[in-house]
Amino acid sequence: GAVVSQHPSWVICKSGTSVKIECRSLDFQATTMFWYRQFPKQSLMLMATSNEGSKATYEQGVEKDKFLINHASLTLSTLTVTSAHPEDSSFYICSASGLVGDTKNIQYFGAGTRLSVL
């Protein structure tokens, strides 16, 4: 149980275009979802936290107008990178947590999305 699916796994886009990444909890209700960014050979950095039906909370230094997060249902959160530029190229990873059972206070991670902006 507690499976999180992330799509796409790899996306290439032109500079100035927008890219949407989806994160789905397949077998539990994800009351909270998180978005992380991982640079090559480095750790994961929390970008934002989203609770279902609420606006996302962004970490200091993360541009909320560039990284739009929507968490409209208990199983789906999306991250849209708007007007992407080469410096936005990175590995983006989502995670999800619920309120009951094995999902309580534990984050389950998607496989990540590698974004390359040309």
Partner 1 sequence: AQSVTQPDIHITVSEGASLELRCNYSYGATPYLFWYVQSPGQGLQLLLKYFSGDTLVQGIKGFEAEFKRSQSSFNLRKPSVHWSDAAEYFCAVGAYSGGGADGLTFGKGTHLIIQP
Residues interacting with partner 1, by CB under 8 A? 4, 6, 31-32, 34, 36, 42-46, 49, 51, 59, 93, 95, 97-99, 104-112
The least CB distance from residue 111 to partner 1, in Å, is: 4
Per-residue DSSP letter, 29: -
Number of Cβ within a 10 Å radius of residue 118:
10
The least CB distance from residue 63 to partner 1, in Å, is: 17
Distance CA(71)–CA(96), nearest Å, equals 11
The least CB distance from residue 15 to partner 1, in Å, is: 27
Distance CA(48)–CA(34), nearest Å, equals 6
With respect to partner 1, which residue has the nearer C-beta, 66 or 109? 109
Is residue 82 helix, strand or coil?
Answer: coil
